[in-house]
Amino acid sequence: MNILITGGSGFLGARLAGALLAKGSLGLAGAAPRDISSITLADRAPPPAELAGDARVRFVGGDLNEQIAAGQLPAAATDAVFHLAAAVSGECEADFDLGMRSNFDATHALLEACRALGSRPTVVFASSLAVFGKLPGQPMPAVIEDFTLPTPQSSYGTQKYVGELLVADMTRKGFIRGRSVRLMTVSVRPGRPNGAASGFLSGMIREPLAGLQAACPVEPDTVVALSSPARTIEGIIRAAEATDEQWGPLTGMNLPALRTTVGEMAAALERAAGPQAVGLLDWTPDPAIRKLVDTWPGNVAAARAQALGLSADTDFDAIVREYIRENPQAVKLPVN
């Protein structure tokens, strides 16, 4: 089996590649598992050394739009595509053209290239909770269900929703077997901050554990829907494995979410690393971040994902412990 991961050198892309390589095989849409013979990682930056050193991994570097236009991607024998590459929310609000090129043009071009293969590859599209949003002057729905009408309130959310619609229609036409999964905010992400408006939901844990000050630009009672990296990858892989009958409607599927508050996240940080860590949080409000966060839903249901055997993280303390266990080199403060 030959797999393509766009954004394959990024945090989630690299983690997905590692999980697939560890599995060794994959059964697409309920078919018998087949050995994974190659994983192509498409990204601007090279993959981590542990991936680059695997003989099954091929790296294609450069701009995704240019790679597709040149016929480099996807390769003729591609069986599955995991489309994770994207400009993030804050970038898309600051630069509309960047978001359209990265999130609309590239997604459209990739789907057309998959269609041109003529082999109906399985395509898993990483959509986002950002397809939902609070309409001005209207209350937020009490619970966001799988079939709640998407009402994005950001360029990023709009671009992701358009991607979902393209995936659904190309699947309906029989060009691809498409699966759109709506990712929750992933926390805790290791490494350097990115341009996502939600980045503080990782930074408020990651930076204090490293002995650094971190911005927490919203009120402690702000409700958020989170997922750990491990649960997120489980959901992405399960989407590729599910049969058409199990998957059901062609619309996007909500991945399971842990409902918590920013204040509860800070309390989990204190339980893990004490008052010194919490003292590094800067609670200065940021009106621009607050404006976006106010449109995000915090109470998300995931009945379809649960029917596939997926579940949310049990609590944020467990997520913090998982981050500490996986990234000991990044933790500078004493932890409990």
What is the per-residue pLDDT for 106?
A: 98
Quick check: helix, strand or coil at residue 59? Answer: strand
What is the per-residue pLDDT for 139?
A: 86
What is the per-residue pLDDT for 260?
A: 97
What is the per-residue pLDDT for 89?
A: 85
| CATH number, domain with residue 324 | 3.90.25.10
Token pair 């599910």 is found at 242
Q: Which residues contact 111 (CB under 8 A, 6 or more apart)?
A: 123, 166, 167, 170, 175, 176, 178
Cα(295)–Cα(21) distance, rounded to whole angstroms?
38
**Pick from 118, 147, 107: nearest CA to 6:** 107
What is the per-residue pLDDT for 295?
A: 83
Same domain, 119 and 58: yes
Same domain, 121 and 145: yes
**Residue 37 belongs to some domain of the structure:** yes
What is the per-residue pLDDT for 292?
A: 81
**Residue 306 belongs to some domain of the structure:** no
Q: Confirm whether 323 is a catalytic residue.
A: no
Token pair 């503080």 is found at 200
Which pair of tokens denotes residue 116? 């041109």
Same domain, 237 and 268: no
Q: Which residues contact 320 (CB under 8 A, 6 or more apart)?
A: 188, 205, 268, 269, 272
**Residue 172 belongs to some domain of the structure:** yes
Which pair of tokens denotes residue 221? 């009672």
Same domain, 163 and 234: yes
Identify the DSSP state of 226.
E
**Residue 47 belongs to some domain of the structure:** yes
Say how far residue 297 (Cα) sits from the centre of its chain.
16
Same domain, 215 and 162: no
**Residue 307 belongs to some domain of the structure:** no
Same domain, 204 and 103: no
What is the per-residue pLDDT for 140?
A: 86
**Residue 191 belongs to some domain of the structure:** no
Same domain, 169 and 203: no
Same domain, 217 and 89: no
Side-by-side strand order, sheet with 57-61: 57-61, 38-43, 2-6, 80-83, 122-128, 177-183, 253-254
Same domain, 139 and 157: yes
| CATH number, domain with residue 135 | 3.40.50.720
Which pair of tokens denotes residue 203? 């930074």
Same domain, 11 and 160: yes
Same domain, 210 and 264: yes
Cα(304)–Cα(315) distance, rounded to whole angstroms?
21
**Residue 308 belongs to some domain of the structure:** no
Provide the residue range defining the domain that includes 181: 2-186+227-254
Digit-by-digit pLDDT tens for the chain (336 residues) are 999 999 999 999 999 999 999 999 999 999 999 999 999 999 999 999 999 999 999 999 999 999 999 999 999 999 999 999 999 988 998 999 999 999 999 999 999 999 999 999 999 999 999 999 888 888 888 999 999 999 999 999 999 999 999 999 999 999 999 999 999 999 999 988 776 778 899 999 999 999 999 999 999 999 999 999 999 999 999 999 999 999 999 999 999 999 999 999 999 999 999 999 999 999 999 998 888 888 888 899 999 999 999 999 999 999 999 999 999 999 999 998
Q: Could you tell me if 152 and 207 are in contact, meaning their C-beta atoms sit under 8 angstroms apart?
A: no
Given 156, 200, 247, 323, the catalytic residue = 156
> What letters, b where the CB count within 10 A reaches 16 and e where it falls short, cover 176-210?
bbbbbbbbbbbbbbeeeebebbbbbbbbbbbbbbb
What is the per-residue pLDDT for 310?
A: 98
User: Considering the entire predicted model, what is its pTM?
Assistant: 0.95
- Give the count of domains, the chain: 2
**Pick from 128, 111, 133, 132: nearest CA to 120:** 111
**Residue 46 belongs to some domain of the structure:** yes
Same domain, 99 and 48: yes
